[in-house]
A and B are shown apart, each in its own frame.
Chain A
Amino acid sequence: MVQQDLDPRSDSVLEVSGVHKSFAGVHALRDVGFALRPAEVHALIGENGAGKSTLIKVMTGVYRPDRGTVRLDGRDRDFRNPLEAQAAGISTIYQEVNLVPLMSVARNLYLGREPRRFGLVDVGRMNRQATQTLGRYGVDVDVTRPLRTLGLGAQQMVALARAVQVDARVVIMDEPTSSLEPREVETLFSVIRRLKEQGIAVVYVSHRLDELYAICDRVTVMRDGAVVHTGDIADLERLRLISLMLGREMSTVRDKGTTAFDAGGHERRTERPVLSAQNLTVRHRIRDVSLDIHAGEVVGLGGLLGAGRSETAKAIVGALGTESGSVEIEGRPMRRRSPAASIRAGVVMLAEDRKAEGIIPNLSVRENISLAALPRLSRAGLVNRAKQDEVVRFFMERLRIKASGPDQKVSDLSGGNQQKVLLARWMCLNPKVLLLDEPTRGIDVGAKAEVQAIIDELARDGLGVLLISSDLEELIEGSDRVVVLKDGHVVGDLVGQDVSEEGLLDAFATAPAVSPDAPAPDPDADPDAASETASDSAASTSAAPGTPDSPDDPAGTPQAPAQDPAAAPVKENHA
């Protein structure tokens, strides 16, 4: 490493400037600058594909930038691999704990740096030290147990303790709380505060806005491979943060007509909903999500990344195990939920991940379309080719699927045509309810318009449609009403005029006073830290202006937009 002159102007411990990185001609990072001060917790936020992960990988030596510099302590560094970055003091903690599950906790903590005596590992000393170290992180366990017997939170804490022990100057946490219980999140936060006291800088990546406002000092927002904002998080309103992230100005005039949806909307056919989901709860993902879908309407399901939209759809059709909750179809409760049972009951889901959960790549267009309907197209276990061909031909024409013929392999089709094939697979079942998870993602403009027109038409034909989309325009123009999710909760149900960009952004930004996943103040935490959280979250609550007057809000107070009845008492703790 060439000795560089220290830059006296730089007060940053880690500084990335002018970094470009592209993969196969596609820009992942464009002229990215990022500065991390000592003893700060810096939030890094952005939607999928914004370039967060790429930036982290550049900072940790996984990737080398095409252009630009990475400076640590004012010196240019060129990490060739993650080990070099680690040795220089940059530690990373990933979502999945990468330690050795079968080794003891103490062994994991000291892996590669075991205390030695006479050339052998001094197991006694190692275990004593490990117990002490972990105790400081609020992890009180038998350190001789294999790591995998610990809860995920505790494992993460071990990973954290290990990372910090290696003389870290910078700790990067990539969605550290995604699998933690609320209590564990609070422990993590107190550890982060202790890191701050030690002068260690933390980069905190999370999609949970509440957490960011609770623990972070500054924030960097990324979009499309570039940094769009950096500043103190207290100065940035939630609403503004979200519009930065999604790339929309709140004042943008709605630009009607860019989607193929009919402006007219649809009418509910019946009073009784065709599908009614009550209190669906999936561990760590969604909690008490309830929604109704009527025949002939398109219900949008909005929310930011990680809000639990796909999980809700999957829970409804039984593709994801639920802890509690029920689904009624036309008033009849479904006893055992599974994809097959849902399909029999007339509820089908177009999965988000077309490749992993949709197409059968080596089979033909014909077989992909008729896959779910095979039993209906068969007699005595034999596929009725004539009937199959008839159905396939009908849908290929109706959806204008461009293929050389029904025998073409589906993986040879374009994304848009694959999506139409999957739509056809569900449409030929004559479903009552269609759950569409990002139906137009990754398909070209023409196909997108066609798919949107089909959705419109299906609703007009009397289907109940649930539309999940990250494309705000699509969600607003396609839906008759939008249920908004945040951190796995329903935080809003927008109807009529409220189905607008402002309404949605407002709902996304709501600071639920307390969600069960949000950290509750830990009585054991030192009083300073506790009051810090309280003031932080209080500030963020008041920072969010104009919380939506959501019609279902029982409390009706603008300060408590969350509809969780448990919200009120816990909130008083904070205030």
Chain B
Amino acid sequence: MTSLTWTGPALDRARLRRLLQEYGVYAALAVLFAVAVGLDTNFVEMSNIRVQLYQVAPTLLVALGMALVIGTEGIDLSVGAVIALAASVVPLYLGYGLLPALLVSLLLGAASGAVGGAMVAFARIQPIVATLSLMIGVRGLAELINGNSAKPVTESAILDLGSRSLVGIPEMAWIAAVCALLTGFLVRRTTFGRQLVAIGDNRQASRLSGLPVRRVLVTVYVISGVLSALAGLLIVGHGAEADPANQGLNMELNAITAVVVGGTPLTGGRVRVLGTVAGALFMQLITAVLTQHNVHTSYTQIVEAAIICFAVYASQERGTR
């Protein structure tokens, strides 16, 4: 848990609400899992679990960066486009080997984040506008680099990244898990992490306390860009193609959903890393369960919408306490 709040003795109802906000997402995940298994015992089979993990890993990576950005009272809409950009350069640089291709992708992700962060921190453009323009521009750039059509990727090195397993768990999932641990550590234990949370909670007070507000903001967007690029690489590895026109579409929305369902308030000042992991898993599983029981996609979307509304409602009540 990355929660720093102190839960003291309070009125029962207020306390119940607190508990719901703090642990609701874990409880919901557990209940959902139990229901899924109850409906169909095949759900716990390793093959199914592996499929779910393959799908959730990129979303989780993006959501981790998103959680940091949202912690500073910002939002990053450019993540899906960054995925496309990272994917688009893979076929171009794979010829030089796996490492150069990875590095170029991640660097481009960082550069995109730096541009977004600079717009927010120095030009003081609202995050939603800054990253919206970036989202449009970066996807255009990706299509320019790669062309409109999907390019197949056949290098085994990168395909391994998307398909190999370690101890029965996909490498992708390991990577996402390690990143989640690092993010949690970053938020809780490092100077940067604490400054990030303080800036999100009260920017003016942080500035007056001499915190490097601009540097922290730019760094946060850079981290989000790098994590998105990493997600893009995994997507290319798993799908064996680079398709800048379609890859990463709606990813920003999935990531925001995971963060919000995980209990991180959009008003900033709090980053719940474990909650974000649970949120991403929850959204993945609910879609999977509904799909596996042949519920039409339209209904699935409506259910997802209802969940998001409820999550936002629950997290809002913090403020009106």
Asked whether any CB of chain B lies closer than 8 Å to the CB of A319, the reply is yes
User: Count of A residues near B, CB < 8 Å?
Assistant: 34
A407 at the B interface (CB under 8 A): yes
Given A363-B201, A371-B198, A371-B211, verify A381-B192 contact (CB < 8 Å). yes
Bitwise, A522-550 to B at CB < 8 A (1) or not (0) is 00000000000000000000000000000
Interface residues as binary, A304-345 with B (CB distance below 8 Å gives 1, 0 otherwise): 000000000000010100000000000000000001101110
Q: Which of B165-205 contact A (CB under 8 A)?
A: 189-192, 194-195, 197-198, 201-202, 204-205
Assess the B6–A425 pair: CB atoms within 8 A.
no
A-side contacts of B202, CB under 8 Å: 356-357, 359-361
A11 to chain B, nearest CB (A): 50
Counting chain A CB atoms within 10 Å of each CB, which of B5, B8, B270 scores highest? Answer: B5
**Distance A407 CA – B8 CA, assembled complex (angstroms):** 11
Q: Which residues of A contact B6 (CB under 8 A)?
A: 364, 404-405, 407-409, 412
CB contacts (< 8 Å) of A339 on chain B: these are 207-210
Q: Is the CB of B8 within 8 A of A404?
A: yes
Question: Taking the nearest CB of chain B, how far is it from the CB of A453, in angstroms?
Answer: 24
Cβ-based interface call for B152 (8 A): no
Is A224 in contact with chain B by the CB < 8 A criterion?
no
Q: Which of A19-27, A213-221, A372-380, A467-475 contacts B (4 or more CB under 8 A)?
A: A372-380
CB proximity of A381 to chain B, nearest CB, Å: 5
Q: How far is the CA of A371 from the CA of B206 in the complex (A)?
A: 8
A382 and B4 within 8 A (CB)? no
Please determine whether A371 and B191 come into contact, CB atoms closer than 8 angstroms: no
Are the CB atoms of A364 and B4 closer together than 8 Å? yes
In the complex, residue of chain B having the shortest beta-carbon distance to the beta carbon of A343: B210
Q: Does B212 contact A (CB under 8 A)?
A: yes
Q: How many angstroms between the C-alpha atoms of A570 and B210 in the bound complex?
A: 43
- Residue with the highest number of chain B CB atoms closer than 10 Å, among A339, A343, A408: A339
Cα of A364 to Cα of B206 in the assembled complex, Å: 14
B225 within 8 A of A: no
Most buried by A among B4, B192, B197, B208: B208
Of the residues A317, A349, A357, A360, contact of B201 by C-beta under 8 Å? A360
SS of A interface (majority): mixed
Known interface pairs A362-B270, A404-B6. Does A371 touch B209 (Cβ–Cβ under 8 Å)?
yes
Q: Are B269 and A360 within 8 A (Cβ)?
A: yes
Select the residue from A361, A362, A408, A412 with max chain B CB neighbours within 10 A: A362
How many Å lie between the Cα of A361 and that of B321 in the bound state?
14
Q: How large is the interface on B (under 10, 10 to 19, 20 to 34, 35 or more residues)?
A: 20 to 34
A 170-196 binary contact with B (CB < 8 Å = 1; else 0): 000000000000000000000000000
> B195 to A374, Cβ gap below 8 A?
yes
Interface residues of B in 206-234 (CB under 8 A from A): 206-212
Residue of A nearest to B212 (CB): A340
Q: Does A564 contact B (CB under 8 A)?
A: no
Q: Which residue of A319, A367, A372, A404 contacts B4 across the interface (Cβ within 8 Å)?
A: A367
- Chain A residues near B209 (CB-CB < 8 A): 339, 343, 371-372, 425
* Chain B nearest CB, measured from A189 CB (Å): 36
Asked if B5 contacts A362 (CB within 8 A), the reply is: yes
Chain B neighbourhood of A357, CB < 8 A: 202, 204-205, 208
Give Cα A360 to B5, complex, Å: 12
* Complex Cα gap A381–B237 (Å): 33
A146 to B194, CA, bound (A): 45
In the complex, residue of chain B having the shortest beta-carbon distance to the beta carbon of A370: B194
* A568 interfacial contact with B, CB 8 Å: no
CB atoms of B194 and A359 under 8 A apart: no
Contact status B190-A360, CB under 8 Å: no
CA distance A412 to B10 in the complex (A): 12
Complex Cα–Cα for A364 and B188 (A): 13
Known A359-B202, A359-B205; contact A378-B211, beta-carbon cutoff 8 A: no
A residues 345-393 in Cβ contact with B at 8 Å: 349, 351, 356-364, 367, 371-372, 374-375, 378, 381-383
- Which residues from 242 to 293 on chain B have a C-beta closer than 8 Å to any C-beta of chain A? 269-270
Query: CA of A185 to CA of B269 in the docked complex: distance in angstroms?
Result: 43
B197 touches A363 (CB 8 A): yes
A-B contact pairs, 5 of them (CB 8 A): A339-B207, A356-B205, A361-B201, A372-B210, A374-B195
- The 4 A-B pairs of least Cβ separation, nearest first, read A343-B210, A340-B210, A372-B209, A378-B191
